[in-house]
Amino acid sequence: MKQIQNISECFFYRKNCSGSVGLVPTMGALHKGHFALIQKSLDVCNNTIVSIFVNPKQFGKNEDFDSYPKTIEQDLEQLRLLGVDCVFIPSASEMYSNNHSLYVTEVLLSKWLEGKSRPHFFSGVATVVVKLFNLFHPTHAFFGQKDAQQLFIIKKLICDLNYNIECVSVKTIRNDSGLALSSRNKYLSETDQQNAAAIYSGLLKVKEALDLKENNVKNLLKIFTAHINQTKKLKIDYLAFSSLKTLNDVGPTIKESVLISTAVYINSVRLIDNIIYTLESPN
């Protein structure tokens, strides 16, 4: 497995790749969710490149950049065992020069959901993804459905900036209790992880209510809130029902298929999750 740390090496490596190239951008602290993305790339592409970079541009001042989990030696060993061709592990100074002043900003899809709570986030994500696309010119890029809004924005970025890249989405991987796998789960004790499983079960409660023809957004929010409030350590940041085309809020009633997404704090740790509710068309 080739390890690259310098930008100049990226161009040389890519020039010598033949066939399709899959890119899996990560921030490390790899888990089974990442491995599903990587395995999909290995299955689809002739070459698989994984990046490990904790991107400072997508963290706010009071967020967890300094404490973000870092398990680089374990990550590299797992990537070797999977059969990854190349791993890119740049420093922040390699990716961003001292006078770096150009950023990529999406102005429609990023207004909602995570964009409200973390207004800096998607500019940081889009900027680093564009950099990675420019360095490796992948034919395919792999992103998880757990970060649903990010996936929407990456697809928009590929379309609007005319990248010849196929964006491949991979379903959310969960533990046995239903908790979506996340690197930030490493912050949680085993008990906290069990409590955090209420996030997904709460989303399923909302889905059950929709199946039973309860389509009023305020009532659905009450159902979710009541479920989350049964676990004292959990605090809702938002629950949203969003258009699958624009991510605009849908309401006051649900009359179309929607993305149902949430961010919930457990203690000081912020976790996100989502499901897509498909409203079947009447015959």
Task: Give catalytic residue positions.
Answer: 34
Q: Collect all residues with Cβ–Cβ distance below 8 Å to 53 and sequence separation of at least 6.
A: 25, 26, 27, 28, 88, 89, 90, 95, 128
3-class SS at 213?
A: coil
| Integer Cα distance of 200 and 261 in angstroms | 10
Q: 128 and 2 in contact (C-beta within 8 Å)?
A: no
The encoded tokens of residue 55 equal 């991107």
DSSP letter (8 states) at residue 249: B
Q: Are strands 47-52 and 269-277 parallel, antiparallel or unpaired?
A: unpaired
Contact 200, 273 (CB under 8 A): yes
Strand-pair category, 2-4 with 140-144: unpaired
